[in-house]
Amino acid sequence: MESVVTEMRKIEEAAGYLKKRGIPETGSGVILGSGLGDFISRLDPGRQEVPFGEIPHFPASSVIGHAGKLVWGRLAGAPLAVLAGRVHLYEGRRMAEVAFPTRVLHRLGVRRLIVTNAAGGINRSFRPGDLMLISDHINLLGGNPLTGPNLDDFGPRFPDMSEAYSRRLRHLARSAAAAMGLLLREGVYLATAGPSYETPAEIEMFRRMGADAVGMSTVPEVIAANHAGMEVLGVSCITNMAAGVLPCKLVHEEVLATTARVQQDFCRLLADTIGLLCRKE
């Protein structure tokens, strides 16, 4: 386990490098999940990017569908930083490594974070291709990114999680969806470590626990963001129905095919929500 001094030094070095590369103070950030990378084309043509591999201490993803670069530019007139790709626990990463990019974003000024993912639908009224606003989460990852010495520079030892997904931002996202005529689902996201998909018995248990969707990401970043006092908006793309809901096998190709199909709606929902956010501030 890293000491507080070492971890803080790594975060500062990564943020310092990005500042040297020209990233401006940025109030809003986005983390893009599997297959949802097209969103970066919504940024102005003058956008700039740095591959994760060039940023000191930044973990680089090995998953197909994850670009692995930090992109910044302007959207709706305001600066925006976008992590196109993320790392997951199932890649053998530690929780603190998964949360590292979120903490670097905080050091760059990000105080509103939009996290997105691909997820399996547990709620039987959902359909593949639906977009779901995350109202809350259940952490079954078997760990927490805040384990170990507390990083007091970010937040308290025992951070509140009673509104992990900001009511204000959810309201803005619902308004953006309504203006688009888009059906926006809302529900509880449950995170498992993966990488195997769940069994039908596990999905039945998760349903009884109150979960509407299941995935293998997002929760570490959201805990780290809440620790640091950031406002969080979470959007899941329901790429498939979870195991046992339909009589078919689950494959990653279906996840990518569905994200490709709904990419346009997804990008517009995010861009319009950010537009509303910038108008309010």
Query: Which positions touch ligand HPA (CB under 6 A)?
Result: 118-120, 197-198, 214-216, 239-240, 242, 250, 255
Minimum distance from residue 180 beta carbon to ligand HPA (Å): 23
Residue 55 DSSP one-character state? S
Residues known to be catalytic: 34, 66, 88, 90-91, 118, 216-217, 240, 252
Minimum distance from residue 239 beta carbon to ligand HPA (Å): 5
Pairing between strand 213-215 and 78-84? unpaired
Minimum distance from residue 49 beta carbon to ligand HPA (Å): 25
Q: What are phi and psi of 31, to 5 degrees?
A: -115, 120
Comparing CB distances to ligand HPA, the nearer of 82 and 216 is: 216
In 3D space, the residue among 34, 70, 29, 31 whose CA is nearest the CA of residue 215 turns out to be: 34
**Residue 140 and residue 144: Cα distance in Å, rounded?**
10
The number of helix segments (H) and strand segments (E) in the chain equals 6, 9
Minimum distance from residue 237 beta carbon to ligand HPA (Å): 8
Minimum distance from residue 141 beta carbon to ligand HPA (Å): 12
> What is the per-residue DSSP string for 171-219?
HHHHHHHHHHT--EEEEEEEEE--SSPPPHHHHHHHHHHT-SEEESSSH
Q: What are phi and psi of 264, to 5 degrees?
A: -65, -50
Minimum distance from residue 103 beta carbon to ligand HPA (Å): 24
Specify burial of residue 58 (Cβ count, 10 A radius: 0-12, 13-18, 19+): buried
In the 3-class helix/strand/coil scheme, how is 105-143 assigned residue by residue? Answer: HHHCCCCEEEEEEEEEECCCCCCCCCEEEEEEEEEECCC
Cis peptide before 195 (omega within 30 of 0): yes
Amino acid 248 reads C
